Amino acid sequence: MKNEVLLKFSVTDSGIGIPFELQAKVFDKFFRIPPKQGAYSGHGLGLHIAQSYAHLLSGNILLTSKPGQGTTFYFELVVKVGEAGQLPLEQNKPDKSKLPEARNKIPVAGAKLMLVEDNTIALLTLETLVSQAGFNYRSVGNGQHALDLIKAEPFDLIITDLDIPGLSGLELSREIRKYEQKNQLKAVPIIGLTADDEKKIKSRCIKAGMNDAISKPIDREALEKITQAYLLASPGATIQNTPMATPQQPAADKTKSLLQLDTGPVLDVECALISLGNNADLLRATFKCMVEQEMPKSIRALETAYKAGDWLTIKKLVHQMKGGLVYCGAIKLINACHYLEQQCQAGPEDSRHSLYQELRVLIDETIAAIKAWLDSK
C-alpha cells in the first residue's frame, strides 16, 4: 500500500543447527533441544517471547536451519513511512531548572530487575512499564527457572507473580532467602503480584520473605512507588528492605464489586488505558493478544476441564485469567472469574455449573467487545 514499506530482519548463527523434526517445536514455551544435541543453556522462553511480540506486530518469525550448519531466524513487518521532522535546537538543551529535583530521585546505577510472570499480557505490560522507566530486566515464566537464574546473575529487585508454574511465588521467595543466607548475600527486595486482594495475601508474602505484595494491575504509578522504595534514592543513600507504604482502599466497595456479576461494563477501555500508563500502542497490542492468543487458549483449557468435571483445574484457570484481564478493563468478566473461583472451592455444584455458563457467555461478550473496539480504530 501507499506510504508503507516491508522490512525484513534476520539473524544468523553458526551453532549446532536444528533438526528438521524439531523446528516446529522451538517456539513452544520451555522447549529446549535435548542435552545430547548440545550443551547450551537457556530456559526455552526466548523464541516463544520473540514470536509473541512478532504476532502482536502482525508479523511472524520463520527459520531455516541444517544440523551442523547453523540457523537463520527472520521476520518481516509492514510499517508506515513517517515524515521527517526537525526539532528546534533549543529543545535539545537540558532544562536546568529541573536538575535539582531529578538529582534527588535517580535510578541506582545499573539496576536490573527480574520479572517472573507466566501470563503473556501481564508480562508484556510489566516489561513495557519497566523499560519505559529506564531499567534493565530479565523475564522468566517459571519459578524454578527464576531461582536458577538468580543463582547465576545478580539482581537489584525481583517482581514475581504468586501463581506461577515450577515454584510458586511464595516458594520462590523462601528459596531465595535460604540461598542468600547460606551464601551470606545481601537480601534482594522481592515484590509479589496477586490477582486477589493484597490485604488477604500480604501477611503470607511477608512471612515467605517478600518485602511487599500488591494487587494487579500494576500500572505506572504502582511501579513508580516500588522503584522509589527500593531502587530510587538520593545520592549516597542506601536502599532499605522494608515494606513500602500503600494507600488504604475501602474494603467494602471492593468486595461488593467483586461479588456482583452485573456490576460494571463488559469493557472499560478508559480503565484499561489507565492501567497501561495511557499507552495507546500497548493497549492495542494487549487487546490483540487477548483475543488472538489468551482467550482462545483459556476457552480450550476451560472446556476440557469442565467436560472432565475438574473444578480444581477450573479454579486455577479462572485465577490465571484474572491476571491478564485486569489489564484489559474487562470488568464483568473479572467479577465472574472471581466469583466462580470462590464457588469452585466451597460452593454447591448447581451454583458452580450456573456460574460457569455465565462465565462462558461473558467471555464471548468480552471478545466481541474487544474486536469491535479494534475494528473501530
Query: What does the pLDDT read at residue 300?
Result: 95
Q: Which CATH architecture has domain 269-376?
A: Up-down Bundle (1.20)
Contacts for 13 with CB less than 8 Å, ≥ 6 apart: 70, 71, 72
pLDDT digits (tens, 9 = 90+) for 156-177: 999 999 989 999 999 999 999 9
Phi, psi angle pair for 223, to nearest 5°: -65, -40
- pLDDT at 149 (0 to 100): 94
Domain ranges in the chain with CATH number 3.30.565.10: 4-80
| pTM, entire model | 0.60
Q: How confident is the model at residue 301 (pLDDT cuts 50, 70, 90)?
A: very high
129 or 302, which is more confident: 302
* Check whether domain 112-232 has CATH 3.40.50.2300, yes or no: yes
**What does 101-146 look like in DSSP terms, one character per residue?**
HHHTSEEPTT-EEEEE---HHHHHHHHHHHHHTT-EEEEES-HHHH
Q: Which of 74-88, 175-189, 199-213 has the lowest mean pLDDT?
A: 74-88
Q: What kind of fold does domain 4-80 have according to CATH?
A: Heat Shock Protein 90 (3.30.565)
Closest CA to 26 of 36, 39, 17: 17
Using a pLDDT cut of 70, give the percent of the chain over it. Answer: 78
Domain with CATH 1.20.120.160 in the chain: 269-376
CATH 3.40.50.2300 positions along the chain are 112-232
Q: pLDDT tens digit string along 107-123? A: 554 689 999 999 888 89
Q: Do 128 and 279 touch, CB atoms closer than 8 A? A: yes
